[in-house]
Structures are given as structure tokens and as C-alpha cells.
Amino acid sequence: MASGKSVAIVGATGAVGLEFLTCLERRNFPVGRLRLLASARSVGKTLTFRGESLPVEELKPESFKDVEIGLFSAGAAISREYAPMAVKAGVTVVDNSSAFRMDPEVPLVVPEINPEDIRHHKGIIANPNCSTIIALVPVYAIHRRNPVRRMIVATYQAASGAGAKAMEELRVQAADVLAGKPAVKKVFRHQIAFNLFSHNSKIAENGYNEEENKMVKETWKIFHDVTVKISATCVRVPVFRAHSEAIWIECERPVEEAQVREWLTGAPGLRVVDDREGNTFPMPIDASGEEDVLVGRIRRDYSRDDGRGISLFVAGDQLLKGAALNAVQIAEILVNGAVAPNRASTGVVRLPFSPDTAVLPR
Amino acid sequence: MASGKSVAIVGATGAVGLEFLTCLERRNFPVGRLRLLASARSVGKTLTFRGESLPVEELKPESFKDVEIGLFSAGAAISREYAPMAVKAGVTVVDNSSAFRMDPEVPLVVPEINPEDIRHHKGIIANPNCSTIIALVPVYAIHRRNPVRRMIVATYQAASGAGAKAMEELRVQAADVLAGKPAVKKVFRHQIAFNLFSHNSKIAENGYNEEENKMVKETWKIFHDVTVKISATCVRVPVFRAHSEAIWIECERPVEEAQVREWLTGAPGLRVVDDREGNTFPMPIDASGEEDVLVGRIRRDYSRDDGRGISLFVAGDQLLKGAALNAVQIAEILVNGAVAPNRASTGVVRLPFSPDTAVLPR
């Protein structure tokens, strides 16, 4: 233990924070010391890591002394305030919030896609938005062989994306509705139990909500390609912790279904679940607790005549690959210097993305 | 009452059957006599219509004596067996099953779209599939002004589409899951509570399930246009009785968002719910019990450069506009001879669709 890294988790008691602990333990991350940081009201709680009970400490400017790696998931405001302090104290921050994702100095990384971008970091590496990660792991397996020119995405997003309280709200509302009582709304503006609604983020001027616009801009930055055309409809569904997505992609050249199946089967971070006979495809309950993103319903998009369209259905754990796991994978690369196979073979180290080219369509 | 029509409901105790009763009563349909027909095991039950308790009778070949209008919703096998007998007995059948939808002798009708097709009937008029109806009411409001050339649809389909037992399965499973017990699966192969899955219909050779292929072929028949390109992903979600759908359409010519909003606002059978400020858009709990299809998230599809793309989100009651209401509206046209305004103004009476041109893409 003493030879491991000194790690701090910021937002340790949140839904993602708890998964940081699980991921570090399960993946045998070389943790020397672990500090659990949260707001003052969590002080007094303890969390278990490798059988040891650790106290939750209050997050303060001086919390980062002797910390090497900081895993942040306490919202954008906390990240904006504390991540620069942590960097000044010598910490390398992997930030799960949206605070720095579009910062040209900050790499935005999915380890299966652009691990080499990590090399450009100046103290902070950003974790992409959950629905973006879960879509891009499978889409990139195609994109790297036959560039994706257009992408249509409809999401089926779990309550977990809005935190532990939203998961609890789904549970309480479902029990109340079953008992014939009205659904009490606290976290979400609309009833989540036995209902669904357009994603609970603000609608931008272009008519798309923030979640949808994130998918556009983050894909551009992760793919290093601002020419990919994307339209997404993001929807919250009454599911606890895994996001599903229906995806239609249009490639640069004609693409065969069998070829796509082969690419997806061999790609890191993916598991193909495509049993037509048994009518079994990716489902959120199967993706929950899984590190891999599940991908299936692989079929030609017959609404295109030119053979350039493919349709997929995916499901991935929002708290794992959509958040904590992806961040821990980034931390693993920081520690090992290892870069996932996909792009390393090209030997290309691209410059960090400039947001000047990332103007949203309107 | 005596001056009204003699109506029989086949499948009266099913989820759609019960809604037939509601629709006939609420819309003040001129019912003279009402016969409630179902399988032998429902005999002994009574149902209330206009405050009167009516017995459920066993469906038999001789059940149709003196019946003028038959509303069928007891599955394709029952329709195939009994609808021709009913027609022989002089009944005009409105059939909610898939049995006759692709029959070139049978009009497939959404009253807001192709009411004039009713004139060609030879005893049977087919009600389209629920997800097709709910998508096409809004899409047609655009299509009639600026032809839709391509359509991408991701559905969020309620349990009700699989019948009353499926709705009960959602209820029972949800209670069991909340109590920490395993979900017992009877109607659906996969858990429906707090989960979702690719639609529970058979996967055809082209990789699309029957529900998705129905949307293609039924749209062609209803629009009288086999050149519309369609790709759908149909998904079952843990919602009781209203279907939602994310739709991307590409028109023949460039189309303005404001223009589309105007067309949708004035169209029959639709209610625009598009409150960006309040983040309120179509939701299944709001659509439940509503006759209108709710439509919102009206915005440009920025994944197209040519301004021909529009994206929508819709929700409609699967048991009402998706089934019983649409059938009762057809029956109203039969009784009144009235034809909805949309297409009547063109004066065109098109020939019934031939299935020879309706070969599915593969």
C-alpha cells in the first residue's frame, strides 16, 4: 500500500463517488493513501475501501497536501473552485464535471478513443458526459475504419445521471404511484416513475438542451473532428443506473453490417449482445454493474439507398463507463503511461482541441 | 337509443375493448344496441355502458346477427376467423389487429390522414399499428405540405401495447423489485419494471423487428407513397399506456421550424406541447387519457446542412389514438359519411394500396 499513489476522491459520498471506490478496488488501482472528501454535512460518515473503514473529511483548500491524483465528481461549481487549487498543490485532477470539458488546455478523454490526448494535460483531464461516452465507445470502433459523417441519437437515460437523490426519487415515486398516492417531485420537475421526459437540462437557443449540445461538442473534441454532424434527442426514463441509446450513423463510404459486427466484436470496452433468435439485445438491467458498453441491434439503415447507414442500440452503466470507470481508466493511464491500442498504432499525437471551432449550429 | 346503430365489440374485456366502451360513450356515438363479445372464460362478467350493466357474451359464428358495426380487438387469429363471418352477416368491421392491414382490398385508415380510403372498403377497414398512428398524425401535418422523404424513429412504447396483462406485469414487477424480490416474467421475455428492451416482436430477415417493419409498410399504405424511406428502432419502456417517439424527418424541400410549428398547431388530432422555458414537452403521463397526440421538441435537425431536416418528440395514448379512438373515429365516418378536412379539399380519391409494391428493404 505504501508504495501506491496518494488519491483523493472529491464528492466521495455521491453516486459517482461511491463507484470511484468500487472501481479503484476492483481494478486493483495502486492506491497508497486514500482521502475521502465531501461537504461538511457528510463529515462523520465512513466508507469502506479494501475492508478498511475510512472517514469522510470536509473538502477544504488545504485538503490536497501530498495528494497525487484527484478524482472529482461534486458538480461543476466545486470543480471550478477546487480543481485549480488541487493542481497548484501538485495534484493531477480527473474531473467528472462539465467545468473544464471545453477548455482548450484540458484534454477530454475516453481511453478507448483518444488516450494520447492525456499527454497534453496541464493538471486537469476532463471526463466526458455519460451519454457521450456510452455512444462513442461503439461509434468510434466504426469511425476509425470508416469515418462517421452523421449521427442521429435518441437516448433512454437513467435517473442516476441526476445523482443518488434522483435514483431515490424514482424509488419513492414508484412506490407511491403503486399505492395510489401522488408522486412527490423534488429532484426532477416532472414525474419520473412510470413516465419519461425530455432531458432536464436547459434548452439552448438552438432548441436543443444542454445534454444534446454536449453530445455534439464533446464528440467533436474527442474525435478531433468538428465536421461530424450530430442531432440528439435526450430523454430521461424510469430506469435506475444504465443509459440506453438508439443510434443511426452514416459513414463516409458504404459499410456492411457483417463488417460492423466484426469491428464491434473486437473493440475494447464493448460487448456485442445481438441475439435475434432469442430477441435479446442490450438492456439497462444487464448493463448495470458492467464495465463494458453493450451493443446490439446491428443492422443496415434501409432509409439510406447508398449503403452508408448503420443502426445500433447500446446500453452502458451510467455510473461506471459513463462516469467513475472512465475516470479511473484515465488515472490508470496516468500511472502506467500505457495507452490503449486503438490509436496508439497510428503514432499520431494530435493537438488539443480548440473551442474556437466548436460553435454550435444555430 | 333505438334509432342508433347496432354495434358489437369483439374482445370487449381486453385493454382496447374497454376503451372502445369509453370512446363510444364519451364521443356520444349513436349506439342503438351494444353486444359485448369475448372468449368463453369472460362469460359471466358485466361491463357498464351509459350507466347500464351489459353482459359479456361468448363470441360465436352466429354472434353477428343484426349487427351493423363490429369493432374488433381480440388479436389477429380471432380477426382472421371471425371478421369474414361478420362481413357475411352484413357487419362492417373495423379491425384493430394486424390481420388485414396489408390486404389490398382493405383500407388502412387514420382519419386525420386518409379518411377517403374508407369508401373503398368491402366490409373490413383496418386500424393501423399504434406506434404508426401516433407517429403519422404529426408527420402527416408536415408531409401534406412538404413531402417527407425520409424518417428516423426511436420509440418509447408502453406496456399497454401488449395488453392488460402486460400492464399488470409492470405493476407487479415494480412492486416486487422495490421489495427486493425477483421480477417474475410471464408476458414479456425480459423484465419490464425499471428496465427497457427492444420491442418484443419477431426479428425479420432484414434485422428489423415486426413492429419496425410495420411502421415502414403501414406508412407507405396510409400515405399512398412507397418511396418514403423509414428506419425505426422500437423499444418497450416501463410506462403504462402512452407511447412516445423521437422522430427525425427529411422533407423534399427546405423547411422552417416556425412553419412546422404553425402546421402542427393547426392540425387535427394534435396538441403542441413545446414549452422550452418551462422544460415541458410531450410526456406519456400527460398523453394518457388524452385523445390528441402531443407534439413538441420542434427544432431543426442540424445534422443536415440543407435545411430539410426537422426533429420532433411525440406522445400519444396507445389505447386511445393508438387503438380504440382511431377505430371509433373510423366508425363515425362510416355513420356520418363525413371526411376529415385534411385531404378532402384535394378531391382526390386514390385507389387502395397494392401490397405488390410493398416489398420490405433487405
Q: What is the pLDDT of residues A1-29, one digit of tens each?
A: 457 999 999 999 999 999 999 999 999 99
**Around Cβ A268, how many Cβ atoms within 10 Å?**
14
Split at pLDDT 50, 70, 90, the class of A351 is very low
**B123 to chain A, closest Cα gap in Å:** 34
Interface residue A120 vs chain B (CB under 8 A): no
Instruction: Tell me the per-residue pLDDT of B275-291, one tens digit each, with 9 for 90 and over.
Output: 999 999 999 999 999 99
Q: Which of the residues of B are catalytic?
A: 130, 243
* Cell numbers linked to A213: 449540445
The DSSP secondary structure of B16-60, one letter per residue, reads: HHHHHHHHHHHTT--EEEEEEEE-GGGBTBEEEETTEEEEEEE--
Strands A293-300 and A309-317: antiparallel
Residue of B nearest to A284 (CA): B195
Split at pLDDT 50, 70, 90, the class of A339 is low
C-alpha to C-alpha distance for A162 and B83, rounded to whole angstroms: 51
Q: For chain B, give the percent of residues with pLDDT over 90.
A: 91
Among the residue ranges A327-331, B177-181, B322-326, B353-357, the one predicted with the least confidence is B353-357
Q: Which of A189, A194, A303 sits opposite B238 (nearest CB)?
A: A194
Interface residue B281 vs chain A (CB under 8 A): yes
pLDDT in the model for residue A47: 98
Interface residue A205 vs chain B (CB under 8 A): no
* pLDDT of residue A272 exceeding 60: yes
pLDDT in the model for residue B349: 42
Mean pLDDT, residues A289-317 taken together = 97
Interface residue A301 vs chain B (CB under 8 A): yes
pLDDT in the model for residue B357: 47
* pLDDT of residue A360 exceeding 70: no
The DSSP secondary structure of B167-227, one letter per residue, reads: HHHHHHHHHHHHTTPPPP-SSSSS--TT--EE-SSPB-TTS-BHHHHHHHHHHHHHHT-TT
> What average pLDDT does the structure give for chain A?
93
* pLDDT of residue B342 exceeding 50: no
* pLDDT of residue B350 exceeding 70: no
Split at pLDDT 50, 70, 90, the class of B247 is very high
Split at pLDDT 50, 70, 90, the class of B359 is low
With beta carbons under 8 A apart, name residues in chain A contacting B361.
Answer: 302
pLDDT in the model for residue B3: 76
* pLDDT of residue B341 exceeding 70: no
Catalytic status, residue A199: no
pLDDT in the model for residue B100: 97
> What average pLDDT does the structure give for chain B?
93
Among the residue ranges A112-126, B44-58, B327-341, the one predicted with the least confidence is B327-341
* pLDDT of residue A128 exceeding 70: yes
Measured over the CA atoms of residue A340, residue A343, residue A349 and residue A352, the dihedral's sign is negative
Among the residue ranges B30-39, B162-171, B338-347, the one predicted with the least confidence is B338-347
Interface residue B304 vs chain A (CB under 8 A): yes
**Superfamily holding B132-318:** Dihydrodipicolinate Reductase; domain 2 (3.30.360.10)
pLDDT in the model for residue B344: 39
pLDDT in the model for residue B353: 52
How many pairs of residues across A and B have Cβ atoms under 8 Å apart?
Answer: 176
**Domain ranges across chain A:** 5-127+324-336, 132-318
ipTM: 0.94
Query: Which residues 6+ apart lie within 8 Å of B204 measured at CB?
Result: B210, B213, B360
**Superfamily holding B5-127+324-336:** NAD(P)-binding Rossmann-like Domain (3.40.50.720)
pLDDT in the model for residue B193: 98
User: CB-based burial of residue B6 (10 Å sphere; 0-12 exposed, 13-18 middle, 19+ buried)?
Assistant: middle
Instruction: Tell me the per-residue pLDDT of B50-101, one tens digit each, with 9 for 90 and over.
Output: 999 999 999 999 999 999 999 999 999 999 999 999 999 999 999 999 999 9
With beta carbons under 8 A apart, name residues in chain B contacting A171.
Answer: 178
Instruction: Tell me the per-residue pLDDT of A183-215, one tens digit each, with 9 for 90 and over.
Output: 999 999 999 999 999 999 999 999 999 999 999
With beta carbons under 8 A apart, name residues in chain A contacting B239.
Answer: 194-196, 238
pLDDT in the model for residue B5: 97
Mean pLDDT, residues B291-305 taken together = 97
pLDDT in the model for residue B338: 61
